[in-house]
A and B are shown apart, each in its own frame.
Chain A
């Protein structure tokens, strides 16, 4: 009976009800579409770091490297003994898909006439390519001209587009790099440009090189590496794997630091923080607009039905029953609004998927499909928040109405 009274009152004042339902529906949809878009961005940033950058889920460096490595990189490299011992421990652990190695170097790069500084990443391409092949979404898109780099072609390297332009080093051109070895001697190596890649950060675009690990080691005259990257079979296994690896390293007395991908991806964390703040900001604004609408609808309903409240109280309804009646009404409003919002969210999600819309993400040059993810936790959270909002918005006007005397309410016109 109470649900029927509530439903009929909503139908009776359908214009006002519709406005509130619309506000909740649009609010719910806006929050979920924006949340779904940020989830898509986060997912691709994550993929970009783990798979696209060949960093894997877990990175092992020498203890102290993350603090002191920039000042004194040579003393914080993983030498062959440590690498071998670490590999033995990794061989005992399950859940590993790929193990890669990296050595970052820097020095001068020259086209024979002009020199400029470079920062290079020496990669084990067999592992790096295996990681990239597992990437999904925008990360799997090709962002270079030329051919893939291979470990076997030790002197074939990749240049960032800006550096290629600055030194006029096009595909198949020859150049030279110079850098100090770990022992402090100056070393130089010739190279051939096999690849020019896009999407480097603007400030580094005229400095970046990607080289085979052997090339980097040869230039530095070392067999050491800076880091070992481990890609896992399952994304969700990272923390558990880190615990197992830490235990194994302690047993093997390996002096290493083990970090998960999200501890190392500064860009991901910064962007995520920014989007989280944006999301919270939008959520609060949308929430307030919807709340105002529900408060207005319930307040108007309570005011218009003050006499009805008086009648119900005279017939023996207590204050809790009056509150329950209006809570059912606002709960129904929220339920219909959230359901409509869910339908609209699904329609937009389906529409974006079907429309083939594309965009150019900030660190990419090629157009990529625009996607919005459906995030069950956001949907649940938004539903709970909007339902709670309706309940809270009902409490104050009904409480005020309940405080009026019955005679006063009956005399209300």
Chain B
């Protein structure tokens, strides 16, 4: 069973009297443990697609199944719970909570689950160690560099041991060296934990290192390069 199934997905936004189509009939299957990059020019619908796959938004038309479950039937409580337990997010602008330390930011999704504070902190410490930030555990976001903040965001995305991590332009605000380090880290975690990763990016450095590449143009998938095609 695929982790994510998108069947004839459309998404449009209303701007005044006009309907602006963003996604036009997307069909896609993503399996557990896959690492997928979505490329395409600005305005092609990459972020919108990521938002739909992360259950942050609802399609205007079409069906989306998460682990075989139709997401249209979920209420706010159920979709929040599903996001919390099975999906991790890494945002372009990191989106760390400014009043919390790195450790507290990482443990936040577990607190949302009402996991006990000791267990949450212990698990957050392990993740910070994995991303190489043990020494900065007590630092607030404003005391961390962009790369360090993105590592904290990555640790936060992984702390609940999700099946899927969605990263929208995760390297956009990072220099080349840091971007590659973050990418290495995600690839390593993908190999070790079999967590699926979906990236939306224009960054060719990132796209070239991912096993499955999807090209989105004008709201439609124009190419889906899977590993066998890439090697073949």
Interface residues of A (CB under 8 A from B): 1-2, 4-5, 8-9, 12, 307-308, 310-321, 405-407, 410
Among A1, A311, A316, the residue within 8 A (CB) of B85 is: A316
B46 interface residue, CB < 8 Å from A? no
**Is B83 an interface residue when CB atoms closer than 8 A count as contact?**
yes
Q: Within 8 Å CB of A405, what residues of B?
A: 56-57
**CB-nearest residue of chain A to B168:** A410
Q: Given A5-B97, A407-B51, A410-B91, are A315 and B56 also a contact pair (CB < 8 Å)?
A: no
Interchain CB contact under 8 A, A406 and B56: yes
A324 to chain B, nearest CB (A): 11
Q: Mark B105-118, 1 if CB is under 8 A from A, else 0.
A: 00111011100010
Q: Is the CB of B109 within 8 A of A311?
A: no
**Closest chain A residue to B52 by CB distance?**
A407
Interface contact A316-B80, CB-CB below 8 Å: yes
Rounded to whole Å, the gap between the CB of A14 and the closest CB of chain B is 12
Within the complex, the shortest CB–CB distance from B64 to chain A, in Å, comes to 15
Complex-state Cα separation, A406 to B111, whole angstroms: 20
Q: Are B51 and A316 neighbours in the complex by a CB distance under 8 Å?
A: no
Q: Which of B81, B98, B99, B117 contacts A318 (CB 8 A)?
A: B81
Docked Cα-Cα span, A319 to B77, in Å, equals 8
Q: Are B97 and A308 closer than 8 Å at their CB atoms?
A: yes
Q: Given A1-B108, A2-B111, answer yes or no on A317-B91 (Cβ-Cβ < 8 Å).
A: no
Query: Can you report 8 residue pairs joining A to B where beta carbons are below 8 Å apart?
Result: A1-B107, A308-B98, A310-B95, A311-B97, A314-B89, A316-B84, A407-B51, A407-B57
> Is B151 in contact with chain A by the CB < 8 A criterion?
no
Question: In the assembled complex, which residues on chain A have CB atoms less than 8 Å from the CB atom of B72?
Answer: none
Whether A315 contacts B108 in the complex (CB less than 8 A), given A5-B97, A5-B100, A308-B97, comes out as yes
Q: Does B169 contact A (CB under 8 A)?
A: no
B112 touches A321 (CB 8 A): yes
A5 to B108 alpha-carbon distance, docked (Å): 10
Distance in angstroms between the alpha carbons of A319 and B112 in the assembled complex: 12
In this complex, what residue of B is CB-closest to A406? B56
A307 in contact with B108 given A316-B113, A318-B77 (CB within 8 Å): no
By DSSP majority rule, is chain B's interface helix, strand, loop, or mixed?
helix
- Asked whether A314 lies within 8 Å of B117 as measured between CB atoms, the reply is no
Answer yes or no: B54 CB below 8 A from chain A CBs: yes
Contact among A2, A310, A317 for B80, CB-based, below 8 A: A317
**Which residues from 54 to 94 on chain B have a C-beta closer than 8 Å to any C-beta of chain A?**
54, 56-57, 76-77, 80-81, 83-85, 89, 91
6 other A-B residue contacts (CB within 8 Å) besides A315-B156, A407-B56: A1-B107, A312-B97, A315-B109, A315-B112, A318-B76, A406-B56
CA distance A314 to B95 in the complex (A): 10
Q: Chain B's nearest CB lies how many Å from the CB of A268?
A: 55
Question: Is A5 a contact partner of B99 (Cβ separation < 8 A)?
Answer: yes
CB-CB nearest in chain A for B96: A311
Chain B nearest CB from A41 CB (Å) reads: 48
A406 / chain B contacts, CB cutoff of 8 Å:
51, 56-57
> Which of B84, B98, B120 lies in contact with A315, CB distance below 8 A?
B84
With A and B bound together, what is the CA distance between A317 and B113 in angstroms?
A: 8
Chain B residues within an 8 Å CB radius of A319 = 76, 80
B95 touching A316 by the CB < 8 A rule? no
Query: Which residues in A have their C-beta under 8 angstroms from that of B5?
Result: none
Among the listed A1, A9, A311, A407, which residue makes an inter-chain contact with B117, where contact means beta carbons less than 8 Å apart? A1
A316 to B81: give the CA distance in the assembly, Å: 6
Across the interface, which residues of A come within 8 angstroms of B98, CB to CB?
12, 308
In the complex the two chains form, what is the Cα distance from A316 to B117 in whole Å? 17
Bound-complex Cα distance A95 to B51 (A): 79
Give CA–CA (A378, B107) in the complex, Å.
43
Q: How far is the CA of A308 from the CA of B108 in the complex (A)?
A: 12
B136–chain A nearest beta-carbon distance, Å: 18
Are the C-beta atoms of A315 and B91 separated by less than 8 Å? no
- CB-CB < 8 A to B108: which residues of A? 1, 312, 315
Chain B contacts for A320, CB-based, 8 A: 77
Residues of A near B160 (CB, < 8 A) are 316
A351 to B13, CA, bound (A): 64
Given A1-B104, A316-B112: A410 touches B97 (CB 8 Å cut-off): no
Cα separation A317 to B108 with both chains bound (whole Å)? 10
Shortest Cβ distance from residue A154 to the other chain B in the assembled complex, whole angstroms: 84
B164 to chain A, nearest CB (A): 13
Point out the residues of chain A lying under 8 angstroms from B117, CB to CB: 1
Determine the distance from Cα of A410 to Cα of B51 in the docked complex, in whole angstroms.
11
In the complex, A317 Cα to B98 Cα: how many Å?
17
- Please, how many angstroms separate the alpha-carbon atoms of A311 and B90 in the complex? 10
A311 to B100, CA, bound (A): 13
Q: Which residue of the partner chain, among A311, A313, A318, A321, contacts B91 with CB atoms under 8 Å?
A: A311
Give A314 to B99 CA distance when docked, in angstroms: 18
How far is B46's CA from A186's CA once the two chains are assembled, in angstroms?
Answer: 112
Q: Find B95's partner among A1, A311, A407 (CB 8 Å cutoff).
A: A311
Within 8 A of A (CB), among B191-215: none
